Amino acid sequence: MISHRSSYDNGITHIRVTLFIVMAGIYLVAGCMSPSGDSQSSVNRDVPFISAAITRTESPKVAEPAPAQYPPCLQTNVLHVTKGDPFVLSGQAPYLNISTVKIWIFGRNSVSITNMSVMNNGSFNFTVSGDGTKSFKSGINRIILQYPGTGDNFEINTRADDNQGGVFDREGHLLFRMESIRKNFIDGLEAAATLEREIMKPDIADTSTNATFIVEEPWIQINPVANHAAGDIFTVNGTTNLASGDEILMDFYPADYRPSENTRDFVPPTDYVREGICGNNTWSFDIDSGNFRQKEYIIRIGAVRQDAQASVSFFVLLPKNSENSSH
């Protein structure tokens, strides 16, 4: 709540802050709440709960829990997003008479604004698609959720008569231009800080909360593969920062393979990434080398939706009993 309201409102604020502290303690103990912004916001405002989570576009065929022997990850309020993976931002408006939330997403040289209607209970879910995250540059991004004092009337806003993407305060003073961010004239994260400071002024009815996410380039790692005798059944596995449920494929071919050949020794199968530890998810494929010839082979693992792949080579050898029988 803002500081210039009546003593009656101040009393209500005291009750709300007390209830918020109690509920925050419950959520933190339960491990279900992650702090979402500056401590100043939580002291001066009714800060809505905010959470962000990676979601998959289709359910994986295999779902395995993380191994119990590993220590738990440190919980932070920073979401790591791999390019090409969607994520959902969900929140709760601080007052029931709010009909719209303004969602700002700032990168170092990018900014976007979305006005989104909230449900009757004040909640909302905002999805950034996989194609959307592909367009982000790697690095830190800042999300500002701006709520009006009532209805959908924001005091800090763009102006319809300004065709250069200007963001203005309540008195009509220019705070920054979005085009200046996109052209690298000003840093987008600094513009986000400017916006937050303006919203936090005591005479502004708007409120806000925030979240941070880091965009990462997708990667796949293959654990070392030893040489194998023809007929061995073995597993190829590794780690990735792709989200659990993302589809990957394995391509397997002799090192001397040439595209002009009509056949391959192996038909590429697909599988799904499994949940791992602290963002290092896992994958695996079983290989039956019963029909393989004695030569060098290459295994290539690639993401179906993202631009990520890795390869490794190994040799298939004759079984020992075959070597003995040849002498």
Cα dihedral 275→276→279→285 (10° resolution): -80
| % of the chain beyond a pLDDT of 90 | 46
At residue 259, the pLDDT reads 63
- Judged on CB neighbours under 10 Å (0-12, 13-18, 19+), 244 is buried
pLDDT band at 11 (very low <50, low <70, confident <90, very high): very low
The pLDDT score that the predictor gives to residue 273 is 94
Q: What is the pLDDT of residue 109?
A: 92
Q: What does the radius of gyration of the chain's CA atoms come to, in whole angstroms?
A: 27
Q: Which residue has the higher pLDDT, 70 or 198?
A: 198
Bridging pattern class, strands 157-158 and 139-147: unpaired
Q: Which residues contact 242 (CB under 8 A, 6 or more apart)?
A: 82, 85, 218, 220, 248, 273, 281, 303, 306, 308
In 3D, which of 319, 106, 294 has the Cα closest to residue 215? 106
Specify the pLDDT at position 77: 59
- Integer angstrom CA distances of residue 130 from 69, 120, 212, 315: 32, 28, 18, 38
* CATH code of the domain made up of 220-325: 2.60.40.10
Q: Which residue has the higher pLDDT, 25 or 91?
A: 91
pLDDT at 84 over 80: yes
CB 246 within 8 A of CB 272: yes
- How much is the pLDDT for 262? 56
pLDDT at 301 over 90: yes
Average pLDDT over residues 125-132: 90
Amino acid at 224: P
Separation CA 208–CA 293 (nearest Å): 64
Q: To 5 degrees, how large is the angle CA 137–CA 117–CA 164?
A: 50
Q: Which residues pair with residue 271 across a beta bridge?
A: 248
Please indicate whether residue 185 or residue 14 has the higher confidence score (pLDDT): 185
pLDDT at position 320: 66
Higher pLDDT: 239 or 290? It is 239
What integer pLDDT is reported at residue 39 of this predicted model?
A: 33
Helices (H) and strands (E) in the chain, counts: 6, 20
Q: What is the mean pLDDT of the chain?
A: 77
80: pLDDT confidence band, cut at 50, 70 and 90? confident
So where are the chain's domains?
A: 34-216, 220-325
Of 205, 157, 197, 212, nearest to 41 by C-alpha is: 197
Q: Percent of the chain beyond pLDDT 70? A: 71
Q: Report pLDDT digits (tens) over 260-279.
A: 555 555 456 889 999 888 77
